[in-house]
Structure 1
């Protein structure tokens, strides 16, 4: 393997791991220097959801959340929590929904959301901010960290999709 191949591999690794948003990379000769770009607004953001029938609105909140932080933790509601909160089983089983969310390179860590105790998540995972859709403003449980409310993605929701597919 020659030096150009090695450099190409390093660059591919940096881009695959989303370093292009955090680092300025300069290649001169065979020396690669990287310096951290402007610090993100938050170190760690938490967002959560059922992610049952994943759609563009889900992706939007993950994109917007990651733009504000260095490390994005996503809570995926367990099947039991969905049944308890919504009175029905999810269409997609928990372990599959976790794999879907884990496969998105914006997400740094996926954890099960077993209850609605957000303060516990803030404390255990050292969360700086929680991000949710603007439809939660004024209704979200009180937490000791910052809140980020993002505009609701119009005309798309899991409920709309399920109804159109006659899944609920």
Structure 2
């Protein structure tokens, strides 16, 4: 059986950076499983709800050719369980998280991929807010 790659994210206001990291993650294995943060988890992490609802964000990610399976990430504390449940061989996260997920090296390989330059959801939202003032 081939290698399963797992990654996590909110994937709100889906942009080219999201697509690129998912494509690069998929290229590391034979199957890509993506945990999309629930609306509640996103509020807990960032103090705001996503622009797009959980079901819509999941549908967008699930519709990508490089993604094989999508599930709802309900808790940051359950990452190890998600890795085990989905039998992941590789955990991929953006390099803005370097070192933060090394504890999972006991369960699988951990790879930090570079972010796409000059794009972030936070910056997009700030630009939209500024344009609407």
Check whether TM > 0.5: yes
Is the 2:102–2:110 Cα contact (8 Å) retained in structure 1?
Answer: no
Match of 2:35 among 72, 75, 92: 75
Partner of 1:21: none
More helix by share: 2
Aligned partner of 1:88 in structure 2 is 48
Q: Residue 78 of structure 1 contacts residue 114 of structure 1 at CA under 8 Å; is this kept in 2?
A: yes
1:24-82 Cα shifts (integer Å, max 9, x gaps): xxxxxxxxxxxxxxx9xx61000110001011111111110111111100010000000
Q: Indicate the structure (1 or 2) with the bigger Cα radius of gyration.
A: 1
Equivalent position SS for 1:123: helix
2:94 corresponds, among 125, 129, 133, to 133
TM-score, normalised with respect to structure 1:
0.72
Moved segments of 4+, more than 2 Å: none
Instruction: Please report how far the alpha carbon of residue 139 of structure 1 lies from its aligned counterpart in structure 2 after TM superposition.
Output: 2.0
Q: How does 1:1-168 map to 2 (within 5 A)?
A: 43-116=3-76, 117-140=78-101, 142-143=103-104, 144-166=107-129
Structure-2-length-normalised TM-score: 0.90
Residue 43 of structure 1 contacts residue 71 of structure 1 at CA under 8 Å; is this kept in 2? yes
Aligned length: 127
Bigger strand share: 1
Q: Say what the alpha-carbon RMSD is for the aligned residues.
A: 1.5
- The Cα of 1:140 is off from its aligned counterpart by 2.3
Give the gaps of 5 or more residues in structure 2: none
Distance 1:87 1:103 in 2: 28
List gaps (5 residues or longer) in structure 1. 1-38
